[in-house]
Chain A
Amino acid sequence: MTWWCTALDEAWSWSRWRPYPGVWAMIGLLVVPYFWNMRGRFERRHALLFGGGALLLWLTTDWPIGTLGAGYLASAHMLQYLLYTMVVAPLLILGVPEWMARRLVARFRLYRVLGFLSRGLWLPALAFNLVLIATHVPATVDGLRQGPFGNFAIDLAWLGAGLVMWLPVLGPLPELRRRGLAAIGYLFFATGFVPIVPGSFLTFASFPLYETYETAPRVNEFLTAINDQRIAGLAMKLGAVPIAWGMIALLFFRWQREEETAQLAELSH
């Protein structure tokens, strides 16, 4: 038994469940303090969003997705990346109510850091894309996927990158939340371009790029290493599109409504 998922040298089996105590501990460390702080001020909407994010985080990290991503399928690795960065991270952020965020920010003295992220949007965009590239370079994947510490580092980097990327537009503190064209442009540049490069390498490579997934026992005899990699490449290029563009559309319509409201207010004066 290992405390976190890791690549295995044995055939994949859907019936061979594996426990990962480290994953359970991480979920516990996230959920227990959250609901402890919610005592007396329970907010259903926030609790559902945070609980949904934590549930998805657990499903993405634990067996079977975690095990498959750690050592069997590049497509599972990519699914994990997309879920962490595009679904789990925004759900967790949206699940934190403003009063709880203010308490956390004050306790850990994070206000200046969050303010810096919100003002200099290039920094979260850069950090997000650096993590994307670094965690998809074959040397990194093949090196880190072989042990639980490496897999833990990858999972943590993805979750952290997702949180940093989404905070400036979804953050719980209204004064630090970017709106309008700045938020739209930020999301467009942060999520739209860089994934195309590694995604294309994965889709069009002549050979499997990751030794970990290439030489692993096949999960399905019809899913060859190269086809698995192509699926991963396409997922990297297209997987984030619905969420990123959905959010861009939402921000655009909200911005348009705010502009109209402001114009009406001006006319009425």
Chain B
Amino acid sequence: MRGRRLIGLGLSVAIGAAACGSGSEVPSGLQGFTYAERVAKPDFVLTDTGGNSFDFQEETKGRLTLLFFGYVNCPDVCPVQLGQLSQVFASHPDLGRAATVVFVGVDHARDTPEAVRAYLDKFDSRFIGLVGDATSLEAAQLAAAIPVAYREQLPEVDEENPQFYTYAHAGTVLAFAPDGYSYSTYPMGVRQSEWVNDLTILADIGA
């Protein structure tokens, strides 16, 4: 667990260094990895699971937003992160109503709109799924200042099983308060009690 958290911390520092801060103070009491200065919401456009264009900044304006880049066939990080959020929203329906979860499928070959929708419905049917081609997905990840996911071949892969691969991707959930800024990020290993604490704080910023 500690290893995961250190990776997340490193990622947060990298994001903080890469992103432009506006100088506003980060609220106290957050238990996620906080930035030195708040970070603006990224600007990108992808396609939602209904086939409609989804302008991330526009569609999530004024909402507490949780942005996560993952893939449907992820064996560990994605189901844990999404599962934790769905459990938090099940136990705290007010937070579920206040937050918009946006999942971006980075595996452009397998993360079809249908596959992403079916996957997210296992956790919470309110979660929004976005898909895109390789170029637009890379642009979205660069806009969010996270490392771009890349395909990893597993040793077991062979010509008969070309689908046997994983993606190395940022396992961190980026949280944006209703004011449009991010104050903290959440790597794998964040606990439900920490989520409730932080989402309650973030939901009040700029609401």
CB-CB < 8 A to B79: which residues of A?
A: 11, 217-218, 221
Interface range, B side: 10 to 19
> What's the Cα separation between A221 and B193 when bound, in Å?
20
A129 CB within 8 Å of chain B: no
CB-CB < 8 A to A207: which residues of B?
A: 91, 191-193, 196
CB-CB < 8 A to B75: which residues of A?
A: 10-11, 217
Nearest-neighbor residue (CB-CB) of B91 within chain A: A206
> What's the Cα separation between A3 and B11 when bound, in Å?
33
Q: Do A214 and B3 have beta carbons less than 8 Å apart?
A: no
Q: Scan A203-246; emit 1 where CB is below 8 A from any B CB, else 0.
A: 00011100110111110010011100000000000000000000
Which of B83, B91, B189, B191 is the one whose CB lies under 8 Å from A218?
Answer: B83
Nearest-neighbor residue (CB-CB) of B88 within chain A: A207
Residues on A lying within 8 angstroms of B by beta carbon are 9-11, 142, 146, 206-208, 211-212, 214-218, 221, 224-226
Closest CB pairs A-B (n = 4):
A11-B75, A217-B76, A207-B193, A11-B76
Distance in Å from the Cβ of B112 to the closest Cβ of chain A? 20
Q: Scan B68-103; emit 1 where CB is below 8 A from any A CB, else 0.
A: 000000011001100110010001000000000000
Q: Per DSSP, are chain B's interface residues mostly helix, strand or loop, or mixed? A: helix
CB-CB < 8 A to B76: which residues of A?
A: 9-11, 217
Q: Do B91 and A9 have beta carbons less than 8 Å apart?
A: no
Could you show 14 A-B contacts with beta carbons less than 8 Å apart?
A10-B76, A142-B1, A146-B1, A208-B192, A211-B1, A212-B1, A214-B192, A215-B188, A215-B191, A217-B80, A218-B79, A218-B83, A221-B122, A224-B87
CB-CB < 8 A to B83: which residues of A?
A: 218, 221, 224-225
Q: Do B91 and A215 have beta carbons less than 8 Å apart?
A: no
Nearest-neighbor residue (CB-CB) of B81 within chain A: A215
CB-CB < 8 A to B4: which residues of A?
A: 9, 215
CB-CB < 8 A to A215: which residues of B?
A: 1, 4, 80, 84, 188-191
> What's the Cα separation between A148 and B76 when bound, in Å?
22
Q: Do B191 and A214 have beta carbons less than 8 Å apart?
A: yes
CB-CB < 8 A to B122: which residues of A?
A: 221
CB-CB < 8 A to B196: which residues of A?
A: 207
Nearest-neighbor residue (CB-CB) of A13 within chain B: B75
Nearest-neighbor residue (CB-CB) of A10 within chain B: B76
CB-CB < 8 A to B191: which residues of A?
A: 207-208, 211, 214-215
CB-CB < 8 A to B91: which residues of A?
A: 206-207, 226
CB-CB < 8 A to B193: which residues of A?
A: 207
> What's the Cα separation between A142 and B1 when bound, in Å?
10
Nearest-neighbor residue (CB-CB) of B5 within chain A: A215
CB-CB < 8 A to A224: which residues of B?
A: 83, 87
CB-CB < 8 A to A221: which residues of B?
A: 79, 83, 122
Nearest-neighbor residue (CB-CB) of A142 within chain B: B1
Distance in Å from the Cβ of A225 to the closest Cβ of chain B? 7
CB-CB < 8 A to B80: which residues of A?
A: 215-218
> What's the Cα separation between A221 and B142 when bound, in Å?
31
